[in-house]
Structure 1
Amino acid sequence: ALDSDFIASARDRGIHLPGMQTNIDEWYSAMDVFVLASHREGFPRAAMEAAAMGLPVIATDIRGCREVVEPGYNGLLVPVNNSKALAGAINELAASPQLREQMGKASRAKALRDFDERQIVHIVISAQLTALRETGRYDDLPTPEPPEVVMREALPADAAIIARLHADSIGTGFLSSLGPRFLRHLYASMISYPDSKVIVAADAYGPVGFVSGVKDVGRFYKHFAATKGFAAGLVALPRLVRPSALRKFWETATYDAEHQETGAELLSMSVASDYRRRGLGAALATRLLDELSAAGIDRVKVVVGSENAGARSLYQSVGFEDKDTIEVHRGEQSVVMVADRSSHFGVDTG
């Protein structure tokens, strides 16, 4: 245990020692860098969790840590008991937001590739069944089925995973450029907003896909600004300092006022890479349209990059049609697609 004099001295130097915490995902989301200065480790679960949360990892050059950190790729390794080297590594990442972002994305990719329990279990079972079949002893063994996935309404606890799915899969959008911490505030606000729908596809471990939509885009962004705007702005501030970023932020928040094809919009949708090509995207989009229709909203739009042929094809498969071409951001063409279910029920809207 640390003595009181040491704790007081650390606080005087701006070091906070919060003690035991259970809301670890929130602490990871607040971090810029994860540091693990251990003398000895088995397989450091905390470092794996930090990597999964998209953080660059600084750790000591010992077994276990070497399995999580690839030096120069997703973090840095320093010698044990070398405080100067540790401080140097921390200062190196603290001084470079670009390097932190690059290594954070690499950490996330490594975690999905090497540490995802679903992948590991599936690989192990598949390898065992393959070995048994090759011996000729169990020719009738079934191929392992993928985990069951169910759709449900998103919960507040899902916001962090939804934000990460968005950041991982929707790489070209402006909101993605503001980072997972900003997106977490955005989806937390959306989940709590009564005139929105956030639906997740989840297996036993949590969401593997989601779709989000709102009844009125402009009103939702006003709600977001009022409830989460300050906190979201703080985490996004380093990415908003450029004039072009501020311009895009304003264009994103206001474009709907200039395009009134319909106020309701499918805002975002993503499916984890290992769950694609199973029809989850179409199922999620259909579920959203069903729920909005049940709430009396039969016309819903989605805005898609004009060159995103895959997304446009998926939306067409569930009833969206091209209606207009606009520029949400200067010089970047997008297609407005609308699903109109009023005609499905013979409703006269004229």
Structure 2
Amino acid sequence: MTTTDIRLTEWTSCGGCAAKWGAAPLSALVRELAATGDASLLVGLAPFDDAAVYRLSDDAALVSTTDFFPPLVDDPADFGAIAAANACSDVFAMGGRVVLALNISAFPERMPPEAVAAILSAAAAVVAEAGGVVAGGHTIRSEEPIFGLAVQGLVHPDRVWTKAGARAGDVLVLSKPIGTGILLAGGAEADKASAITRMRQLNRGAAEALAALGDGLEPHAVTDVTGFGLFGHAWEMAERSGAALCLDAGALPLYKGALEAAEAGVRTGGDARNRSHLEGRVESSASAALEALAYDPQTSGGLLAAVAPEAVENLAPAGFVAVGRVEEGVPSVRFG
């Protein structure tokens, strides 16, 4: 058997970030964990963010994160590349640069070695593109293939981005289209291939564009859009910022074919979990299909940032699209 003979999605019941635990049980679990009294932990569990940040010195802090999941695509190289881009994304969402990664692997013993090699090789190439190096990892046996990475980065302690800080009057910008879950679950093959190409791409360029805005135009809040969907991650920003996030349904960038798949009723397993967690937190006047895309779990999604209006034009070359605004009010997500 060669890598071209393997269809990884046939080896798993649920793939990509749709395999994440729901936000509600995960939040309840995290609340039970003991908080640390270490003053050097700048970002940790209370409140949690996209990655942990630990101060090393006056001008350096460690950004630490991990992401792993079962396959959501068939090709081993695509799987490895997407998993690596997704794992590195949290470092970029915190304003950091990637320096080191460790593989987290679980594979069936019957999986051909060349398929495993393709996954690991593609992941290492993406980490190198991110500016880091894969220095090792750990592999166990598993009935279903699972792969991801623990990624370490560096950031200046005074330049850490978080989900908090969005201000009334800010514009919300998004760097990648949405719809990966629905599209991969039931879209046309040509549309899937186009989306996979974009999912393999890092958020490094988007993060560098935000960092290049300069003094006075720094992003006020940043997160990446992954398993909890656009609505879920927008809600986290709204809650942390104490503001209302208003998303323009007509402005959302969508992967080609995603809307048609959503209109045909295609949904993923994460849809119901995301809807349940966000009940009473989202106000929508948009179509059912557009709502579904905003609830849809994303894998290797883009950066969502709240920025001053005058910063928007400078972000367009990096792929950012204005998708809404921040308003005063009770934390909520408004969609229409």
TM over 0.5: no
Larger CA Rg, structure 1 vs 2: 1
Q: Identify the structure with bigger relative contact order (alpha carbons < 8 Å, sequence gap 6+).
A: 2
Going by fraction, where is helix more abundant, 1 or 2?
1
Going by fraction, where is strand more abundant, 1 or 2?
2
Give TM-score scaled by structure 1 length.
Answer: 0.26
